[in-house]
Structure 1
Amino acid sequence: MNEVQTRVEIDRQLTAAGWQVQDQNQLNLYAGSGVAVREVTLATGRADYLLYVDQRLVGVIEAKREGTAPRGVEAQLDRYLNGLTAEQRLSAWRREAALPFGYVATGTETAFVNQLDPFPRTREVFAFHRPETLARWMREADDEPAAPTLRARLRRMPALDRLGLRPAQIDAVEGLERSLADARPRALIQMATGAGKTFTAVTSSYRLLKYARARRILFLVDRNNLGKQTLREYAGYQTPDDGRKFTELYTVDRLSGGGLLDSSTVVISTIQRLYGALRGDELPDVDLDDQAYDSYDLGSPAEVGYNPQLPPETFDLIVVDECHRSIYGKWRAVIEYFDAFVVGLTATPVKQTLGFFQQNLVSEYTYEQAVADGVNVNFDVYRIRTEITEGGQKIEAGTVVPLRDRRTRAERYQELEDDFTYAGRQVGRSVISKGQLRLVLETFRERLFTEIFPGRSTVPKTLIFACDDNHAEEIVTMVREVFGRGNQFARKITYSSRRDGDNPDTLIQAFRNSPEMRVAVTVDMIATGTDVRPLECVFFLRPVRSATYFEQMKGRGARTIDPADFQSVTPDAQVKDRFVIVDAVGVTEADLDEAVPLQRHSEQQISLRDLLRKAGTLTADANEVATLASRLSRLDRQLTDDERAELAELGGQELRSIVRGLVDAVAPEQLNPATQAGPEAVRDLLAGALRPLAANPQLRDRILEIRRAHDITIDEVNVDTLLSAAGVPAAERAQVTVRSWHDYLDQHRDEITALQVFYEGRGRVSYDQLKELAARIARPPQAWTPDSLWQAYVQLGRTVEQAGPRGVTDLVALIRYELGHDQELRPFRTTTEERFRGWLLRQRQAGATFTADQVWWLERIRDVIAVSVEITPDDLEGAPFTERGGIDGYAGAFGNRAEPLLTELNQELSA
């Protein structure tokens, strides 16, 4: 854009935001609430636009050429905000002060600064604020001059009333408020499943609305059934000051088809529903649109435009629940549209989550900590292995087998002309093995009251994860048959439940509260967030590749429950003190990853037919190529040997080779350089990968024919064989942990500073470096704490149980022991105290004597090193040293030896 085009675009954006744009020679300050006047001379230069709100001069816009960095214009903008003539000051909102509101705009980028903030800081905004917004801010500043803005009020929050809050919730609320007081735009709260993330968010919401006078809060949920759960949490929240319910004081609504209500103070929505509202779409019924937003694949990342019904300043705070999911990818533009603080809640942050929230992790509360505090219960693993699950099976030629259409579920029968061999990984997806399913469930039934929950007689509440909806149907049928029970005993709860005539919310409620419903079978619907406290068995009949997703699924069983409530649905139970992962597919033994999913479009959004058509015309973009690779890879796994050979002959190479070419083309190491080189380079790269398909219409047609004909094969003839069924011993799990810990140290030795120190033997490790390491290993897929690692060594008999949990500094002992530097694994404090005694003995043998006062200092220095790895002069200005004068008292006690003594103790005690 040239300068003229920039001005035209800024005029358009101002008009869209409700401003009347005028020239100075046609000035009419009564034309609207907000008037933007072009090209006005000030005492310090010529401003591109002056802003009037209700006939009072309040701000300046400085227009710059597209590509100009806003931060480089701040000094010029500041001169204009302070540069009114004497005559202009007569119409200014505050005659003796600078104008409060400043913008730098290029037509494609807009930056804003509010001089009323305690520490005015420029921030990017999607669009100019509306005149009525500035008018409201002016009224707020007039009403409370000491704290004229939201950011000012956030710095004056009263102390938190801690009554009724768990320590982790206190840490989270206070950590968030410190972050908000510092005006950090994004903050992340990590809190274990069941530890009260939503209650924490409601507590923060109440405090921000009451004390900071925030206007409106948006709470984004993963699915609509979680929105209902969140609404109940707000409605049930009792305010700590006068005991009234939150909803008696503030209006809490779910975003409905009618759009945003003016009276709404808290708005609950899914991000896809919010996206539809921003686009002006007609929103579906709030109770029908019920899928996780990861299931709503977009052709490309969401793009949003200005919507005057939902301007960027609509919300002051956005809370994103389950924020480990894809908000930071395809949906992030929806969040970044709003000029609001963003707070993420998750039990399982991954690298992309931390990146989106700018590494601002304001509180951490791990699953292990929650178990130690009694907030969550721990788990055991019961592993069931069968011959078919492990190695697949063969159906002999001549057998008549049922084939089921995936979409219609219509069945037909076909006599096999050749042997049909399938792998274990196909079970549950392209093959339903009745024998495998029956054996797994019969084994579960037979061992339930003898090995898994000995002495019990009521089937515990059990959640079974299936591969897909067809698989879930088979499981429900088989559960009822194996246990000899009726429809109410086991139910399917999936996204198709509503379509099939059931209300998923009613089913989930029954699963929580009904003594009759003991088993629920799901695919993804109850995988994250949904609260079913009596749940005692999490049963995996489907594999999981994502470590984060596995942690979320596993977490469904972790929640505690009041004993009376527990016994009301499971009468023969006393107290829920654990849950059991029943693993029938090896998910607890698999190497899980955090890779970005290859498939970036859903079946509903773009079909395989359309993907192949785009391949033929070379019009598929990178996302479509990635999705095509995912679809073809999945198809390749389902092919028979004959089909695979036929496609290889047609294509001149195996289908998996074509898939590999597609995957390589969209890999960052190839796609990023091509993107930088320009559109033609990207087109050439993708066209080269697509050529085997584009140049072979017969291959494309045959792929579609095979895909259409590829039904689910139902194996009714093979009886499965039980290989083993047993609880996984703690020692075996500990062995896996220790082995994985050793491998982790070796793999990350060059990228984590604390590990570099140990491997290279240079200097001492600092407490901050150990904290960084602790934070890294606490994330999935490891999810370790120093205490959980230590307990693994205890289980293996390599060290002894110690009183109290192990802390960050014990990572020193764990690393030194694993690297062979120490022959015995002992707590860091124990080692520190032993080294201190040895150092003191050597000092006395050398003739040194210490007064009682000096010994007091030395022992306290030892204690600091034991918990912090090192001591610094700054530590001497804190407790307990201030009792004896702090750093001055220390200097007086040791004289010239004071400084070298600290260095010597650091070297001797933390070596």
Structure 2
Amino acid sequence: MNKKQLTETDIITKYILPAVIDKGWDSMTQIRQEVKLRDGKVIVRGQVAVRKKVKSADIVLYHKPNLPLAVIEAKANKHEIGKGMQQALDYANLLETPFVFASNGDGFIFHDKTAKTTPIETEITLDQFPTPEELWQKYCAWKGYSESQLPIITQAYHDDGSGKSPRYYQLQAINKTIEAISAGQDRILLVMATGTGKTYTAFQIIWRLWKSKTKKRILFLADRNVLVDQTRINDFQPFDTAMTKVEKRTVDPAYEIHLALYQALTGPEEHQKAYKQVDPDFFDLIVIDECHRGSAAEDSAWREILEYFNSATQIGLTATPKETEEVSNIDYFGEPVYTYSLKQGIEDGFLAPYKVIRVDLDIDALGWRPTKGQTDKHGEVIQDRIYNAKDFDRTLVIDERTQLVAETITAYLKRTDPMAKTIVFCNDIDHAERMRRALVNLNPEQVKKNEKYVMKITGDDELGKAQLDNFINPKKAYPVIATTSELMTTGVDAKTCKLVVLDQSIQSMTKFKQIIGRGTRIDDRYGKLWFTILDFKKATELFADERFDGIPEKVMVTNPGTIIDEENPDFDEQLNNPENHNEDADGVEDSRGEYNVGSEDEWTDTGEDTGGEKEPFIKYHVSGVTVKKIAERVQYYDADGKLVTESFKDYTKKTIAKQYTSMDEFVKKWQSSERKQAIIDELEEQGVIWQALEDDVSRDMDPFDLICHVAFDQPPLTRKERAENVKKRNYFTKYSEAAQQVLNALLDKYADQGVTEIESIQVLKVTPFDQMGQPKEIVKNAFGNKQAYEQALSELEALLYAPN
């Protein structure tokens, strides 16, 4: 057979793989084909979403499954030998592999990033492909590995046999951490966006260090019971009997892997400091989950644990490193060894993009002022000043404002999906309760079906907290709406959460990122590909802040000593008082509201007196105020990670311009394509959502006219107008009467449903064709054979799109 006629798959099978295997590469453990590195970015418009299609790396070569060495990109022989190189370099950059090959079956172009002299790219024959040992030696020299590092670096990750393996960025995070530890680094920071698998990544790091006997006793620290339990039951399960959860303030030295809450290891009293039951060198590895919280501050009550086990290697995990003038994760752990951001996660298709609905209320924008001597519901005289968005639900409650927010949430759910999992972030526990009540009263039909349709899930409510697992479980329909203040900001793996409501004033970038993270998980099985943020407090303006998705910079400039909360001098004492929390507490409620332990700047008010010499704090409560919406706009996540207000027409126009430089180019491609469906599919892969475009422009137009009209400003024709134009030409008279009947029926089908309908042979099975006989009979009786039928259909399409 002529080599030029062979497909890309044939070239791989007949030429490339034999050349690689002949050099000693093991086809079972060292060669992987069709390696999918990304999932495909999700594009959202309206209530519709599509995934961009992504290509897979043809071949990846490994020293061991955890160590990718080379990428090979193949092309059919009709192409030049190096045609696949740029594509291969893209994959190699994701995997951080230094050796890159492109081939058309005649030989290889070899791109060697380890080359110390030029040329970087050389052409080699099929039988000159490097052996595994040659590439491994070059790789080790390039990395600068010493002999003592190799046992740790080459230790395989855990394989449970299910086919699940770390994603490319997880593998990078694991390998860079292992590399740093093998080189003697003992303080390590990993920054990975919420929903990207930090705990799974931590498990693989611990597994490799434990299996290689580099680290023998390991402590995994978290500040929420739910985090510890999720970790133990899910990702850490393979540790089995070597693992224990620290409970009842007892550290059992018989185990090697210890999972613990900070609260279980320490407290303000000496007898509560359970960590002192073992020697300071007992643990040789400590992994701190969500390290931006508990141990971030130098004077944190929990930093003492890390300082006691000072000789241990310590790894901090976070989506949001805390960087303020007083607190710095980077100051303690050093610069991140690896960062995988929300923007990267969305671009790769591993995280859900978002659309934002910004709702502006008149009293938020203009403020509200009481009349002279006006009293609230409790008879308190309201202090005379202008109250604005920051005051509402903190120092002043306006019932009508709560009602309007609840009405807006309800209206959105009713017009989209009333059973979409929703988290409503309120200012405090009192606000969360009032919001719960308003939503219950606005959704009587749903609440009658199940009273758990709306639940308040806050730190003070045992019934609400008990429903947290049901809320995050995709298989459980109820609760649907959770009102909360602080408890659900972090550590809540709600994969199917589709609506995040912000009615809370948020100043902290750390907190904002954590809240947004509640919606960023994707769950294809349940149709969760994107989520909506309904913002009443302009919190989403923080998306425009360069810190939102930038590389974290160290901010801490001074050592301020003990930080005293000026509004509540007794706050630090309350935080450390064992009466205020226990080992199983997910949060601590102080005198001002719900407080998540270790999160110094993330508390909320309840308005109770904190004691001392200060005036009692009063929260005014009024009703009878007219509140209106003055603006509501929808913004989408764009390619640069920014929020844009644009119609789908604008988005489509930009997308088409990247594909086709002119209308002539597009029309030629359309006319020459044997199947128009191929072009339609290709554009859909680039993010053109046909349903959204039809909703935006017209349902009566063909994809061809939609594109010509939207992208090239051409006056459009409807499908019916195009069909009528064909009928006027009397073109069908050259065919037999039976063929004319079929072609006229196809033309009617086109007018009703479009070109994709008539391109499928299945069309001959439906009305009116089912009255004419079986598809084979129709083709034979009317056209003689299938080839003649396809030729007639091709001519029909040419007529449909012929210029007038």
Quick one: which amino acid aligns to residue 491 of structure 1? Answer: M
Q: 1:109-154 deviations in whole A, cap 9, x for unaligned?
A: xxxxxxxxxxxxxxxxxxxxxxxxxxxxxxxxxxxxxxxxx98786
Q: Given that residues 354 and 636 in structure 2 are in contact (C-alpha distance below 8 angstroms), is that contact kept between their aligned partners in structure 1?
A: no
Q: In the aligned structure 2, how far is the partner of 1:556 from the partner of 1:336? A: 32
Q: Given that residues 436 and 454 in structure 2 are in contact (C-alpha distance below 8 angstroms), is that contact kept between their aligned partners in structure 1?
A: yes
1:383 deviation in Å?
A: 0.8
Q: In the aligned structure 2, how far is the partner of 1:712 from the partner of 1:195? A: 40
TM-score, length-scaled by structure 1: 0.45
Q: In the aligned structure 2, how far is the partner of 1:510 from the partner of 1:637? A: 25
**Map of 1:480 onto structure 2:** 440
**Map of 1:315 onto structure 2:** 283
Q: In the aligned structure 2, how far is the partner of 1:216 from the partner of 1:282? A: 19
Q: 1:755-814 deviations in whole A, cap 9, x for unaligned?
A: xxxxxxxxxxxxxxxxxxxxxxxxxxxxxxxxxxxxxx999969965899xxxxxxxxxx
Q: In the aligned structure 2, how far is the partner of 1:731 from the partner of 1:722? A: 26
Per the alignment, in what secondary structure is the counterpart of residue 376 of structure 2? Answer: strand
**Map of 1:868 onto structure 2:** none
1:334-733 aligned at under 5 Å gives the runs 334-338=305-309, 339-351=311-323, 352-359=328-335, 361-397=336-372, 400-402=375-377, 413-414=378-379, 416=381, 421-450=386-415, 453=416, 456=417, 458-484=418-444, 485-486=446-447, 487-498=451-462, 502=463, 504-513=465-474, 514-563=476-525, 566=526, 575-590=527-542, 600-601=563-564, 606-607=569-570, 707-708=615-616, 710-728=617-635
- Check 1:732–1:609 CA distance in 2 against 1; reply closer, same or farther (3 A cut): closer
Quick one: which amino acid aligns to residue 707 of structure 1? Answer: E
Q: Given that residues 394 and 421 in structure 1 are in contact (C-alpha distance below 8 angstroms), is that contact kept between their aligned partners in structure 2?
A: yes
Q: In the aligned structure 2, how far is the partner of 1:327 from the partner of 1:548? A: 15
Q: Given that residues 190 and 348 in structure 1 are in contact (C-alpha distance below 8 angstroms), is that contact kept between their aligned partners in structure 2?
A: yes
Q: In the aligned structure 1, how far is the partner of 2:341 from the partner of 2:382? A: 55
Q: 1:280-302 deviations in whole A, cap 9, x for unaligned?
A: 3177xxxxxxxxxxxxxxxxxxx
Q: Does 1:246 align with 2:214?
A: no
Q: Given that residues 217 and 284 in structure 2 are in contact (C-alpha distance below 8 angstroms), is that contact kept between their aligned partners in structure 1?
A: yes
TM-score, length-scaled by structure 2: 0.51
1:431 deviation in Å?
A: 1.2
Q: In the aligned structure 2, how far is the partner of 1:722 from the partner of 1:353? A: 41
1:415 deviation in Å?
A: 6.3
Q: 1:23-75 deviations in whole A, cap 9, x for unaligned?
A: xxxxxxxxxxxxxxxxxxxxxxxxxxxxxxxxxxxxxxxxxxxxxxxxxxxxx
- Check 1:373–1:226 CA distance in 2 against 1; reply closer, same or farther (3 A cut): same
Q: In the aligned structure 1, how far is the partner of 2:368 from the partner of 2:566? A: 29
Quick one: which amino acid aligns to residue 404 of structure 2? Answer: L
Q: 1:447-483 deviations in whole A, cap 9, x for unaligned?
A: 3454xx4xx4x23111111111111111111111122
Quick one: which amino acid aligns to residue 718 of structure 1? Answer: V
Q: Given that residues 152 and 212 in structure 2 are in contact (C-alpha distance below 8 angstroms), is that contact kept between their aligned partners in structure 1?
A: no
- Check 1:480–1:342 CA distance in 2 against 1; reply closer, same or farther (3 A cut): same
Per the alignment, in what secondary structure is the counterpart of residue 204 of structure 2? Answer: helix
Quick one: which amino acid aligns to residue 560 of structure 1? Answer: I
- Check 1:282–1:731 CA distance in 2 against 1; reply closer, same or farther (3 A cut): closer
Q: 1:635-691 deviations in whole A, cap 9, x for unaligned?
A: 99999xxxxxxxxxxxxxxxxxxxxxxxxxxxxxxxxxxxxxxxxxxxxxxxxxxxx
Q: In the aligned structure 2, how far is the partner of 1:477 from the partner of 1:496? A: 17
1:420 deviation in Å?
A: 6.6
- Check 1:481–1:335 CA distance in 2 against 1; reply closer, same or farther (3 A cut): same
- Check 1:724–1:508 CA distance in 2 against 1; reply closer, same or farther (3 A cut): farther
Q: In the aligned structure 1, how far is the partner of 2:639 from the partner of 2:537? A: 18
1:601 deviation in Å?
A: 4.5
Where is the helix percentage greater, Structure 1 or Structure 2? 1
Q: Does 1:256 align with 2:247?
A: yes
Per the alignment, in what secondary structure is the counterpart of residue 354 of structure 2? Answer: strand
1:222 deviation in Å?
A: 2.8
Per the alignment, in what secondary structure is the counterpart of residue 267 of structure 1? Answer: strand
1:495 deviation in Å?
A: 1.4
1:196 deviation in Å?
A: 0.9
Q: In the aligned structure 2, how far is the partner of 1:609 from the partner of 1:280? A: 19
Quick one: which amino acid aligns to residue 717 of structure 1? Answer: G
Quick one: which amino acid aligns to residue 615 of structure 2? Answer: R
**Map of 2:37 onto structure 1:** none
Q: In the aligned structure 1, how far is the partner of 2:306 from the partner of 2:535? A: 38
1:492 deviation in Å?
A: 1.4
Q: Given that residues 391 and 424 in structure 1 are in contact (C-alpha distance below 8 angstroms), is that contact kept between their aligned partners in structure 2?
A: no
**Map of 1:661 onto structure 2:** none
1:266 deviation in Å?
A: 1.5
Q: In the aligned structure 1, how far is the partner of 2:573 from the partner of 2:529? A: 52
Q: Given that residues 465 and 541 in structure 1 are in contact (C-alpha distance below 8 angstroms), is that contact kept between their aligned partners in structure 2?
A: yes
Quick one: which amino acid aligns to residue 435 of structure 1? Answer: E
Q: Given that residues 324 and 349 in structure 1 are in contact (C-alpha distance below 8 angstroms), is that contact kept between their aligned partners in structure 2?
A: yes
- Check 1:400–1:276 CA distance in 2 against 1; reply closer, same or farther (3 A cut): closer
- Check 1:320–1:267 CA distance in 2 against 1; reply closer, same or farther (3 A cut): same
Q: In the aligned structure 2, how far is the partner of 1:714 from the partner of 1:342? A: 49
Q: In the aligned structure 2, how far is the partner of 1:543 from the partner of 1:158? A: 47
Q: 1:408-437 deviations in whole A, cap 9, x for unaligned?
A: xxxxx2164886752221101111111111
- Check 1:368–1:702 CA distance in 2 against 1; reply closer, same or farther (3 A cut): closer
- Check 1:609–1:334 CA distance in 2 against 1; reply closer, same or farther (3 A cut): closer
**Map of 2:266 onto structure 1:** 275
Q: Given that residues 255 and 269 in structure 1 are in contact (C-alpha distance below 8 angstroms), is that contact kept between their aligned partners in structure 2?
A: yes
1:722 deviation in Å?
A: 0.8
Quick one: which amino acid aligns to residue 586 of structure 1? Answer: K
Q: In the aligned structure 2, how far is the partner of 1:379 from the partner of 1:516? A: 23
- Check 1:466–1:733 CA distance in 2 against 1; reply closer, same or farther (3 A cut): farther
Quick one: which amino acid aligns to residue 233 of structure 1? Answer: N
Q: Given that residues 458 and 486 in structure 2 are in contact (C-alpha distance below 8 angstroms), is that contact kept between their aligned partners in structure 1?
A: yes
- Check 1:384–1:794 CA distance in 2 against 1; reply closer, same or farther (3 A cut): closer
Q: Given that residues 188 and 337 in structure 2 are in contact (C-alpha distance below 8 angstroms), is that contact kept between their aligned partners in structure 1?
A: yes
1:256 deviation in Å?
A: 1.3
Q: In the aligned structure 2, how far is the partner of 1:400 from the partner of 1:309? A: 58
Q: In the aligned structure 1, how far is the partner of 2:637 from the partner of 2:279? A: 55
**Map of 1:15 onto structure 2:** none
- Check 1:545–1:605 CA distance in 2 against 1; reply closer, same or farther (3 A cut): closer
Q: In the aligned structure 1, how far is the partner of 2:255 from the partner of 2:269? A: 17
Q: Given that residues 396 and 420 in structure 1 are in contact (C-alpha distance below 8 angstroms), is that contact kept between their aligned partners in structure 2?
A: no
Q: 1:151-184 deviations in whole A, cap 9, x for unaligned?
A: 8786464344675221112111111111111011
Task: Structure 2 unaligned segments of length 5 or more: list them.
Answer: 1-146, 548-552, 575-599, 661-681, 683-804
- Check 1:512–1:308 CA distance in 2 against 1; reply closer, same or farther (3 A cut): closer
Q: In the aligned structure 2, how far is the partner of 1:399 from the partner of 1:583? A: 30
Cα-Cα RMSD:
4.3
1:533 deviation in Å?
A: 0.8
